[in-house]
Amino acid sequence: MERDVDKAAHYNSQYEKENYFGYKEWMYDRYIASLIQTAGLKEGSTVLDVGCGQGFFSNLFRRHGMNVHGIDISEVGIRKASKAYGQLGVNFSVADFETMNSSQQFDCVFVRSCSLYNRSDFSINNDMTLKLLSHVRSLGVLIFVYNSNFSSKRSDSWRFHSWDDLVSHFHGCPNAKFFFSTKIDACLLGKYAVTSFVTKVNIMLSKMLGVGGDLICILQR
């Protein structure tokens, strides 16, 4: 319980700042559209955004026709999200996904760079992912996204998981599809950005130039 309180306090402090992560809609709007296209989501699909923070990605899914519910452990984050996007039709609630017992299922569960995956045993520990999948309807989809980098660059606070880590984490999931996106690719290529060929190019650029991007797994249940 003390750990959860400390974690919530940490994010409450961060989310007092408007647009804490500095997200740009022009960069991420087409990126989210490409994920929706690749995942095969239809207009009106229900989406659970886990660790939604201030609601930025929840709103982008909403703009592309999804019915979205965002959850986060931070009361401040949820308050900011509700103020910014609640009147537009996005639902938000304070919840710790690790302990929530809701049996509700969704057409899609979306999770991006959740701190619960910032751990050294990511490649062999998929407990969190199995819990996420329990909230995905049959034939629904999990969209897992994690910010990483394939160069020798390192971070003191964030673990840059490798491609092999990603594949190992989802070992035993035959429907898993893996990609790596720099987001700029979506701006240039639109719905054709999240592909195996573009992934290979992005990994090469990341290794050579230190370009960061998102590891992606799209997994149909």
- Give tens-digit pLDDT for 44-95: 999 999 999 999 999 999 999 999 999 999 999 999 999 999 999 999 999 9
Mean pLDDT, the chain, whole residue set: 92
Which residues make beta-bridge pairs with 72? 94
Got the DSSP string for 80-95?
A: HHHHHHGGGT-EEEE-
φ, ψ at 138 (rounded to 5°): -55, 130
CATH says 2-220 is which class? alpha beta
Q: Contact at 8 Å (CB) between 217 and 177?
A: yes
Q: What is the pLDDT of residues 14-25, one digit of tens each?
A: 888 888 888 999
Burial label for 197, CB within 10 Å (0-12, 13-18, 19+), is exposed
165: left (phi over 0), alpha (psi -120 to 50) or beta: alpha
**How far is residue 128's CA from residue 167's CA, in Å, rounded to a whole number?**
15
Query: Tokens 């760079």 — which residue?
Result: 113
Please give the structure tokens belonging to residue 32.
């989210």
109 within 8 A of 50, measured Cβ to Cβ: yes
**Domain ranges (residues) in the chain:** 2-220
pLDDT tier, 5 (very low <50, low <70, confident <90, very high otherwise): low
DSSP summary character for residue 41? P
